[in-house]
Amino acid sequence: MTPSVKPMRNIRAILGFLVKAEVDAIFRQQPFELVNGEPDPFTAWRASCKAIRNLSPTPLELEVGLIDESKLGVIGEVRSRSTFARYYEAVDDYQFAVVPVEGLLSPQWFADLDYVHELSSQISESASMEELVRFTMMEGSVTEPIINGAHVIFNSDRPDLHADQIPSVREIGHGEFEIVVRAGSRPNYVQVAMVGGRLILTNGVHRVCALHLRGYANIPCLLRKVSRIEEAGLNLQTSLFRPELIGGPRPAQVVDFLQGGVAATLKLRSMQHVLRIAIGVDMIKIPAIPNLALSQKKEPVEQFPNTDMFRSGPEGYPTASI
């Protein structure tokens, strides 16, 4: 019997920053697998918890430098993109900045280590600031879809497929309309939210890790200030953002994915991501509502045509006099 093929990805998980109940739920509900003969996920969780206790506190004030857009032409190029106008400029007044990698708080508890190494091979150790901006604000791409009956089907190795939920309608001729659903690659710029004195990476974990592997201590990003973490657009349903951790001396940082002991090594089945857009056309009939001519108006009715016929009754209601 020919053995089945099971391609896997190498994952780094900072389990020690999560509460035990969430770790249990993760391994019950998602196809993560342990490695190195570990008997249960709590062994890896306890080891991560122990390593975290030896980490230095996260600095409260990190140095942030704004990029002089007049001296870097690629910034104007990014601002002119339809992606930037649609997904970033319409959301907030982002600034182009350079932030330190050390101290960036992580928005998630796991990262695909294979993808990190793949990205790190795409940037040199001596890249210019323009090259770094292009790397951190790279435009995505998708393969051409196929049409299968009433379905349009896209696929990708990455979870970057996106389609607008609301179609647009435009007239293309007399009595003829075109209904359009916009689909493509989800924007994937490196973004940072400044909350108080903390910097939270809201997107771009794998690119930041790739640059850190290449030796970069500071990276370009899109930066915005928010007054509360709820405004950063993160998934706050994980215990990674519980108040006592995120407001404590050492929250989870992006660089923790690359620290042995702090991050546990897991396996995850390689997956293809599929976006399917279905087109449905229904023709139905409904009863017509009669159109009443404007001339067919009823004569107004007096509320009290003869006030002598009414007198006050119980609780002030009128009663008829017969």
Q: Which pLDDT score is estimated for 295?
A: 53
> Does residue 176 belong to any structural domain of this protein?
yes
Q: Does 170 lie in the same domain as 22?
A: no
- Tens of pLDDT, residue by residue over 255-295, are 999 998 999 999 999 988 899 999 888 899 999 888 765 55
Average pLDDT over residues 167-193: 90
Pairwise pLDDT comparison (288 vs 320), residue with the higher score: 288
State the SS3 of 4-23.
CCCCEEEEEECHHHCCHHHH
Give just the sign of the alpha carbon dihedral 117, 122, 127, 131: negative
Asked whether residue 102 carries a pLDDT value surpassing 70, the answer given is yes
The answer for residues whose C-beta is within 8 angstroms of residue 143's C-beta and 6 or more apart is 154, 155, 156
Residue 140: pLDDT band with limits 50, 70, 90 = confident
Average pLDDT over residues 71-99: 93
Q: Does 191 lie in the same domain as 181?
A: no
> Does residue 316 belong to any structural domain of this protein?
no
Residue 3: pLDDT band with limits 50, 70, 90 = confident
Q: Does 256 lie in the same domain as 122?
A: yes
> Does residue 310 belong to any structural domain of this protein?
no
> Does residue 115 belong to any structural domain of this protein?
yes
146 closest CA partner among 138, 135, 154: 154
Q: Which pLDDT score is estimated for 200?
A: 96
Q: Does 249 lie in the same domain as 197?
A: yes
Q: Which residue segment(s) compose the domain that 198 sits in?
A: 8-142+186-275
* Lowest-confidence region among 1-10, 82-91, 287-296: 287-296
Residue 158: pLDDT band with limits 50, 70, 90 = confident
Among 130, 162, 185, identify where a domain stops: 185
Q: Does 166 lie in the same domain as 79?
A: no
Output the average pLDDT for the chain: 88
* Lowest-confidence region among 95-99, 206-210, 314-318: 314-318
> Does residue 53 belong to any structural domain of this protein?
yes
The number of C-alpha atoms within 13 Å of 257 and in the hemisphere containing its C-beta is 30
> Does residue 16 belong to any structural domain of this protein?
yes
Residue 296: pLDDT band with limits 50, 70, 90 = low
Q: Does 138 lie in the same domain as 52?
A: yes
Q: Does 250 lie in the same domain as 236?
A: yes
Tell me how many domains the chain contains: 2
Q: How far apart are CA 84 and CA 137, in angstroms?
A: 10
Q: Does 108 lie in the same domain as 97?
A: yes
Q: Does 225 lie in the same domain as 269?
A: yes
- pTM beyond 0.85: the answer is no
Q: Does 259 lie in the same domain as 122?
A: yes
Average pLDDT over residues 198-203: 95
Asked whether residue 40 carries a pLDDT value surpassing 60, the answer given is yes
